[in-house]
Amino acid sequence: MNPLMNQTPLHHWHKQNNAHLSEFSGYEMPLWYPAGTRTEHLSVITHVGIFDTSHMASIWINGPDAFHLLQYAFSRDLNRWNGKPDSQLPEGRCAYGVFLNPSGEVMDDAVVYRFRNDCFMAVVNASMGKTITRHLTDCRDNMNVEIKDLTDRIGKMDIQGPLSAKVLAKALTDPEKILKKMAYFSFKGSGPFSSHGETVKLINGIPVMVSRTGYTGEFGFELFVRSEDLLQTWELIFESGRSFDIQACGLAARDSLRTGAVLPLSHQDIGAWPYVRHPWTFSLPFNSEKNGFTKHFIGGNVLLVEKEAEYTYPFAGFDPRKIIAGKASVSDSAGKTIGSVLTCTTDMAIDRQGDRIYSMATPDRPVDFLPKGLSCGFVKVEVPLEAGTVVYLEDGRRRIKVRIENDIRPDRTARCAMEKMLLA
């Protein structure tokens, strides 16, 4: 292996379990296990899968001005957490947004967690810990706030899929109390981060922070522990999930699952261009008239006057065939080149029947529905396009026909009520 590559605390486990390893953002990570990407992807739709996500970076933001710093640097209005005025992000809740530079371009996306009134954590992408820590430190000015990159001290794994709660319940002490009515984008415990607040422990005594979030569009959790506790945590969850056909999943399945769920990959689907005209405008603090922002924040003013930006749309193809994103152009039905392809992968759990996309999880899917998968991803184009518009993607080797969509994989479980998932 390349000696410059970082390894996660699960590296040895991945090798022992014959993972196909590859470099990702400076880390040697599993792309898939012997079961294969398709099996891993489908496991998360129908059962449960676990992912090593220790390559993600955690930044601790603590002090009397922590809230003000985030209001200034993060794209979400933390004073309007649920969209209404005076609804501050409560303790135990988290929110998705982005950090922009002064030109309104994405430095990285993040989930910001509120532990206490003056105590927050931002989870950013692999290798971005230092960059965002430096950025926040530069923005701090004379604010009274401490900013610390905790990346190498935190171990993280995701447990995703409709059976996640049942598996996690077997591994938690007092699961009923912890999981009951746990809302989407809320968390319990402070795990490796703080000795304050509610203590949540695994049955082997490891303190854990349980967050009802993820990057697959499916129901599930992200677990944060001390890095030295991750292997034991992973093995406990894996054991607890055996009777539920739990599957270890690699980055390939993570990528195809998140794409089908219309979630962006930072530095690929969002990046060094103005953060407007895309499917993720909920992460910007628009007012109800959509003509201004409810707060002042870095990059915000530029976005309000931006008139030249390209439009980002999700698309889905008509079969599993892909083109190589990055090399590919988008053309309209008249053959005119109108943009480029940001992501192109295959969601193996979906297929078209007539005008509709069905998933393995669609309740009224056709009898004997066996999807071959559909290529899908994101395009960035010069002109606005309506959902339903057919465009062509071409990478110099093949040309595929795809359709602009509002959404890709239907019937996702991420927001399903906890009670339903515990009983299902």
18 or 82: CB nearest other proteins:
18
Kindly state whether residue 39 participates in binding other proteins, applying the rule CB under 8 A.
Answer: yes
Question: In the complex with other proteins, which residue's Cβ is closer, 23 or 91?
Answer: 23
> Which residues make beta-bridge pairs with 293?
286
Burial 393-411 (b: 16+ CB within 10 A, else e): bbbeeeebebbbbeebbeb
**E strands along 82-206, which residues?**
94-100, 106-116, 119-124, 146-149, 154-160, 187-188
DSSP 183-216: PTTBEE--TTT-SSS---BBTTS-B-EEES--SS
Stretch that binds other proteins, among 60-68, 82-90, 228-236, 317-325 (CB under 8 A): 317-325
Nearest to 193 by CA among 242, 250, 154, 234: 154
Chain centroid to CA 38 = 19
Contact region with other proteins (CB under 8 A), list: 17-25, 117-125, 168-176, 218-226: 17-25
Where do we find the tokens 């093995």?
235
User: Quick one: which of 53, 127, 247, 346 contacts other proteins (CB under 8 A)?
Assistant: 346
In whole angstroms, the minimum distance from the beta carbon of 28 to other proteins comes to 11
Helix (H, G, I), strand (E, B) or coil at 222: strand
Taking the least distance from each CB to other proteins, the nearer of 34 and 83 is 34
Among 323, 350, 357, 361, binds other proteins (CB under 8 A): 323
Q: What is the contact mask toward other proteins in residues 367 to 406, using x (rule: CB under 8 A)?
A: -----xx-----------------------xx--------
Among residues 37, 125, 133, 233, the one that binds other proteins under rule CB under 8 A = 37
Nearest Cα to Cα of residue 329 among 405, 408, 402: 402
Contact pick of 320, 357, 360, 402 for other proteins (by CB under 8 A) = 320
Answer for which of 7, 17, 25, 36 binds other proteins (CB under 8 A) is 36
Q: Is 31 in the site for other proteins (CB under 8 A)?
A: yes
CA angle 166, 181, 183 (to 5 degrees): 95
**Partners of 52 in the beta sheet?**
157
Which residue from 286, 291, 296, 215 is spatially nearest to 253, judged by alpha carbons?
215
Q: Which stretch binds other proteins (CB under 8 A): 29-37, 81-89, 306-314, 334-342?
A: 29-37
Q: Going residue by residue from 232 to 261, which x/- string records binding to other proteins, judged by CB under 8 A? A: --------------------xx-xx-----
Q: Is 18 in the site for other proteins (CB under 8 A)?
A: yes
CA 84 – CA 346 distance, rounded (Å): 37
Closest CB to other proteins among 395 and 411?
395
Confirm or reject binding of residue 32 to other proteins (CB under 8 A). yes
Reference 280, options 101, 81, 106, 94; nearest CA is 106
Number of residues that bind other proteins (CB under 8 A): 28
C-beta of 417: minimal distance to other proteins in Å? 31
Amino acid at 215: Y
* Sites of contact with other proteins (CB under 8 A): 18-21, 31-32, 36-39, 41, 252-253, 255-256, 319-324, 345-346, 348, 372-373, 397-398
